[in-house]
Structure 1
Amino acid sequence: MWIFGYGSLIWKVDFPFEEKILGFVKGFDRRFYQYSTDHRGTPENPGRTVTIIPAKEDSRVYGIAYKIRDSDIEDVVSHLDFREKDGYERKSVMFYPISSDQKPFEITIYIANQDNINYAGYADLKDIAKQVVKSVGPSGPNIDYVFNLADAMRTLFPSVKDNHLFELERNVSALLNESSIRKST
């Protein structure tokens, strides 16, 4: 079994795996369209985390494929089903390794269903940034999620331009800088 990490699983893997491969899935875009009421926010002040949404056939979402040992599959799936309980569901898609000597293969991903109670959907990135800056949950500040994902994407996939992610990061940084300037005056 292979699991695709495209959000926090890119920088924070919390399950055992035996191999990881960089690559992408096609036909999706990564978006901060899922409320987080149990990790990066609270029910009263939800944060925002990523999901992937259907997009043009040539769209790509880059991330990491993790190979799970047969003996760990049941525990890992149980762990991820619980972790992603607030609206994500498992699906199988094709994964395309960036290494040309590896063939595409089927992989399991967790995608937020648009009918779930925590599906936030589209909002202007400036509004999402305001929500991110003020949200903190049991897994920490929502800003850490945005900055860690952006840093990991730049490190692992330096030639990939994830406009949605990087524009949100710029908006969050601008709000933090503005807040810092106001506090110092």
Structure 2
Amino acid sequence: MDEFWVFGYGSLMWNPGFPFVEKVHGRAFGYRRSLCVHSWVHRGTEERPGLVLGLDRGGSCRGVAFRVAASERDATLDYLRERELVTHVYRERSMPIALDDGRTVSAVTYVVDRSHRQYAGAMTVAEAAGIVRHAVGQSGPNQAYVANTVAHLQEMGIRDHWLEQVVETIGQPVA
């Protein structure tokens, strides 16, 4: 059986929730990390949606690729589908990931569906901060999600200046 890889670009990078045998930084091309999904469950509600990350068209995205043992493939896919496809705002895709060690692998990842009604599209820092500042969902305040994301990205040596500006605007310290 072929190797099974999963690419994470948000909380999956530091909280994968599944067993893996290898973890390597890498880059997806043709997509970028974007705070472009209205969260109705984890970081907001339908009445007061929050914003969470999606992999959206354009640019490239640094993230983490996880190699999963063949014996864990089905359980990992079941887990990811339950976690990522709650409202079907993401589409499961396999795409090439250029690993930092020079290899290129095919990895499963979750790309935002731009035709879904939860797709928020592009917005200014002020617009995003205004949404994030007031939203709370089942997993807690939206502010905590965005600030935690930026902190983890920085720990991993990944800078996202736009997200950092959102965090600064909502009054969270940025390293």
Q: Same fold (TM over 0.5)?
A: yes
Mapping 1:86-125, distance limit 5 Å: 86=87, 87-99=89-101, 102-125=102-125
**Could you tell me how far apart the structure 1 residues matched to 2:118 and 2:151 are?**
26
Which residue type is aligned with residue 66 of structure 1? F
* Richer in strand (by share): 2
* 1:171 alignment partner in structure 2: 169
Identity of aligned residues (%): 29
**Could you tell me how far apart the structure 2 residues matched to 1:168 and 1:98 are?**
28
Structure whose alpha-carbon radius of gyration is higher: 1
Q: CA deviation at 1:164?
A: 2.0
* 2:35 alignment partner in structure 1: 32
1:142 matches 2:142: yes
Mapping 1:35-74, distance limit 5 Å: 35-55=38-58, 59-74=59-74
Instruction: Count residues with an aligned counterpart.
Output: 168
* 1:181 alignment partner in structure 2: none
Deviations 1:74-94 (A, max 9, x none): 111111112112211111111
Match of 1:17 among 17, 20, 26: 20
* 2:151 alignment partner in structure 1: 151
**1:173 match: secondary structure:** coil
Which residue type is aligned with residue 159 of structure 2? K
Q: Which runs of no fewer than 5 residues in structure 1 stay unpaired?
A: 177-185
Decide whether the 8 Å contact of 1:95 with 1:105 is kept in 2. Answer: yes
Which residue type is aligned with residue 120 of structure 1? A
**2:159 match: secondary structure:** coil
Q: Which runs of no fewer than 5 residues in structure 2 stay unpaired?
A: none
Q: CA deviation at 1:161?
A: 3.4
Structure 1 stretches of 4+ with a deviation exceeding 6 A read: none
**2:74 match: secondary structure:** helix
Instruction: State TM-score, norm by structure 2.
Output: 0.89
**Could you tell me how far apart the structure 2 residues matched to 1:79 and 1:116 are?**
22
Q: CA deviation at 1:49?
A: 0.5
RMSD: 1.6
**Could you tell me how far apart the structure 1 residues matched to 2:65 and 2:162 are?**
22
**Could you tell me how far apart the structure 2 residues matched to 1:13 and 1:144 are?**
18
**Could you tell me how far apart the structure 1 residues matched to 2:104 and 2:78 are?**
26
Which residue type is aligned with residue 117 of structure 2? I
Decide whether the 8 Å contact of 1:35 with 1:118 is kept in 2. Answer: yes
**Could you tell me how far apart the structure 2 residues matched to 1:136 and 1:71 are?**
37
* 2:131 alignment partner in structure 1: 131
* Richer in helix (by share): 1
